[in-house]
Chain A
């Protein structure tokens, strides 16, 4: 072995000794072998944190919702309006052209989103509407078409049908399409039941299954032995309500519903709350004005997200979902709803978050997929308004040396 190789081995031995590292944990004894400082926590409620608040409706519109709502509730009456795509006048088997002749049957398919299973004997009332349905229709303007003379069929929904099930029913032998309707068929859906209730079906938005209308037809002679089906999806589907949607009442924080509402909450916080990572828990306490709305047994989330650019109702939200507060609320829930927003306060203490407004957007999740709505007292309600409960660590004393 050369001299320098021997030296290299020696160096390797030295490095090997240095390479062994660190084994944790042995029992100690306080106070003798413990640090002098103690982590001490304090808890306080900031009653005047909310310095400005407002609610605005219209973030998810009726035509963007993932459901179509029919309702007979006292608080909300609604019917579904569907204008289907144009029915073709021919199809092309092989090299032939088969013109649509006699209709054999018409089948309506619906995908149930939600229903109140406690209300029995649910009926879907299918009405014929003008083919070129006016998309600006209102509940009042469309109501005359929901007359017995326009009734196409009545579908009895089994009490066992629940959200997620599909309904496919032959509603007519034929639906004659007047020339003036240019091949379009429009239908309206209302409901009736043993009690007042609501019923939603998929709209086709947000991955839901849209309603479908299938025409089963024969060809005109001489090809009248040929049969064909034309599945039509909605050209447009929406629902109209009474009372019509309106902006939330002032002084309240309103979330959810449709068109969906959100609330903006402008907070004023002491610097100690946002200038450090000392906050270990911060809970926004929201006092409900009444039971949370929605289907019986239904629930949704209340989310508090920080605003990074304050453009009023069009404010830009911080996209990181981990920087938010989240709590689940159920239909019928009242009292105080607590949303933990410590990650938001931590965000405001970062270099990025420091320049952002102390502004929270409160919204429901999933937006546009639930009919539930929650209302909370705003700051105008004084002691019943939003409060922020903060648990934080008092400055830790390390000591010197």
Chain B
């Protein structure tokens, strides 16, 4: 479970240290919480905590200038470096909710229903976020300048 959480966090937050901070905070919160004892799906619940922590983190950063790393310092093992930078860059142009949906469905393999519960929205909203995210990333990968339209 922890390796998968780290993968999701890395894709969500880009920066490896921030990503592991998120995972650590998620685990600490999970271990501190007693909600687990009410039952439910632990996997979804951990993704929910991490998604929310990242949302909160970004919210608290929103009022400050943001610095992006100039270079990804973790080129992947497979695939070309340029390709991986492209997908990472394409992800970074997505609004938060869309990036989370895209990663949870396409990378982590969660169902629409699970993602709807994680984000606290109807399944229809998940589907429209996913459709917009895919269109946006596709355009970005194909070299179009992505429209920085903020859509909910």
Answer yes or no: are A and B bound together in one complex: no
Residues of B near any A CB (own CB < 8 A): none
Residues of A near any B CB (own CB < 8 A): none
